[in-house]
């Protein structure tokens, strides 16, 4: 029976934990049940854990759905919240929405207590300062839910359409941080701002604006440092490594990835950083280091502790790890590595194609197809190369990011090599690659870059 002695004095964290364990549920199961009732994917298991630890107190809106999840009266949760607030010294008079400006207390004037009265007025003034908050817990929760939604939508939805919304939300987070909040909410706002700057950095990176991407990344790192969030500090290092890689600073890309691995972070970030390091080391010819980093990525995946806090672009799915492994093995060269690259790229494509629509990363699907095509080219299968590249070349050019165009351009140069002896098929494919690169570089497309997942059809080559 859940309702034992002293239940009226139970704090919200202990109550939620007791309700969950009585059902034999994990924190993620609670989050899934919550999201099912609300009709949106706004909660994660980690967020439920924060409620149970009382790192955050669920606001009335959230309590309404938690009560339905556990089949209890919402008043039961409200009482537990009141108990928690009393323990934290907040009392029942602390509003859960934006408070009205309180009046200063009237301090009686008595002989000999003038200095004491003035001091009391100073304390009262500071109490008023604390009460004037521009962001309550509901505002922070909604901001985090929006960040999670953008993070997942980013991998498969129109790029500039999302960028406008990301910028609006990011600017809103900046404005909130310029105001006053409880220290706990300030830390959460810094994390949200860090993620939004990270999303902005990725937009610029995909459009080839590397200087702007670096600026957003620096701001993301500053926000993560202000919040003391190890996971975001590690993730931002990964973005900085990407920027260094695509600007030709491969040694620095490897060092940035290594630096990110020094942060203690849960989820898949360890596998991401090791994969980034492997790819960069392969480019500079450090075969031993690249192979070791690939092995580290696999070990990090196997030893992964906890889920990623936020889905989508902040996570590093297994499919993406295979895509990176394919690129790395191609750079290592040698028949064995080329064959492994073909297997890795093919696996990445199959995993992405079997994922939900919102998890099918457009950029990674294109990259894996280009790597798979190049692998077939290196083993002398020109027919296979052209068939696989059809997936990319038949796509509308506005769907291609700057990094994909660079891959296609490099492949076109490779087709000009003497080993192909001026073969008609090689020349034709090279022309197609050059034509696509020219289309993407046209001013009209550069100004209106969007992404949409290409539809699967029966004419695509088997991968």
Domain boundaries, the chain: 1-92
The first and second tokens of residue 392, run together, are 């990319």
Q: Determine which helix (DSSP H) or strand (DSSP E) holds 330, and give its type and residue range.
A: helix 318-332
Closest CA to 306 of 20, 26, 51: 26
Topology classification of domain 1-92? 434 Repressor (Amino-terminal Domain) (1.10.260)
3-state DSSP call for residue 127? helix
Rounded to whole angstroms, the Cα distance separating 321 from 53 reads 33
Contacts of 346 (CB under 8 A, 6+ apart): 368, 372, 463
Local structure of residue 312 (DSSP, 8 states): G
Give the global pTM.
Answer: 0.70
**Residue 308 main-chain phi, psi, to 5 deg:** -70, 140
Q: What is the pLDDT along the chain (463 residues), one digit of tens a residue?
A: 344 434 557 899 999 999 999 999 999 899 888 888 877 666 888 889 889 988 888 888 889 889 999 999 999 999 999 888 887 665 444 334 333 333 434 444 444 445 554 565 566 555 545 444 566 677 788 888 888 888 888 877 756 668 888 898 899 899 889 887 778 888 999 999 999 999 999 989 888 899 999 999 999 999 999 999 999 999 999 999 999 999 999 999 999 999 999 998 889 999 999 999 999 999 999 999 999 999 999 999 999 877 888 888 999 999 999 999 999 999 997 899 999 999 999 999 999 999 877 777 888 999 999 999 999 999 888 888 888 999 999 888 877 888 888 899 999 888 888 887 678 888 889 889 888 888 877 655 444 444 333 333 333 333 3
Q: Are 323 and 375 in contact (CB under 8 A)?
A: no
């Amino acid at each position: 029976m859940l309702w034992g002695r002293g239940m009226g004095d139970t704090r919200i964290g202990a109550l939620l934990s007791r309700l969950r364990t009585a059902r034999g549920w994990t924190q993620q199961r609670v989050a899934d049940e919550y999201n099912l009732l609300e009709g949106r994917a706004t909660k994660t298991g980690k967020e439920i854990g924060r409620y149970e630890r009382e790192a955050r107190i669920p606001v009335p809106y959230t309590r309404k759905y938690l009560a339905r999840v556990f089949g209890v009266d919402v008043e039961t949760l409200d009482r537990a919240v009141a108990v928690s607030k009393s323990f934290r010294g907040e009392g029942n008079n602390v509003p859960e929405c934006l408070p009205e400006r309180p009046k200063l207390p009237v301090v009686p004037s008595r002989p000999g207590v003038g200095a004491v009265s003035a001091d009391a007025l100073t304390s009262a003034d500071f109490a008023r300062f604390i009460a004037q908050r521009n962001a309550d817990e509901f505002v922070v929760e909604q901001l985090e839910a929006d960040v999670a939604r953008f993070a997942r939508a980013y991998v498969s939805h129109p790029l500039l359409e999302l960028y406008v919304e990301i910028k609006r939300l990011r600017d809103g987070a900046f404005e909130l941080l310029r105001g006053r909040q409880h220290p706990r909410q300030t830390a959460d706002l810094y994390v949200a701002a860090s993620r939004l700057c990270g999303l902005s950095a990725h937009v610029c990176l995909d459009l080839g604006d590397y200087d702007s991407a670096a600026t957003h990344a620096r701001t993301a790192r500053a926000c993560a440092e202000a919040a003391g969030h190890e996971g975001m500090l590690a993730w931002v290092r990964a973005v900085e490594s990407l920027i260094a890689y695509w600007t030709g600073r491969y040694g620095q890309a490897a060092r940035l990835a290594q630096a990110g691995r020094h942060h203690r972070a849960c989820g898949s970030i360890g596998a991401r950083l090791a994969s980034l390091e492997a790819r960069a080391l392969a480019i500079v010819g450090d075969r031993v280091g690249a192979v070791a980093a690939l092995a580290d990525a696999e070990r990090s995946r196997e030893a992964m502790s906890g889920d990623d806090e936020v889905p989508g672009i902040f996570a590093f799915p297994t499919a993406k790890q295979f895509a990176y492994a394919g690129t790395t093995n191609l750079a290592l060269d040698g028949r064995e590595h080329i064959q492994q690259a073909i297997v890795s790229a093919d696996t990445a494509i199959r995993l992405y194609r079997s994922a939900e629509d919102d998890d099918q990363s457009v950029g990674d699907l294109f990259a894996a197809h280009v790597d798979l095509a190049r692998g077939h080219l290196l083993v002398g299968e020109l027919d296979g190369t052209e068939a696989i590249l059809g997936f990319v070349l038949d796509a509308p050019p506005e769907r291609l990011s700057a990094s994909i165009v660079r891959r296609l351009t490099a492949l076109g140069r490779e087709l000009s090599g003497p080993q192909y002896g001026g073969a008609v098929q090689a020349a034709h494919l090279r022309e197609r690659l050059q034509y696509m690169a020219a289309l993407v570089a046209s001013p009209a497309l550069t100004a209106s870059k969007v992404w949409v997942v290409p539809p699967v059809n029966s004419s695509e080559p088997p991968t």
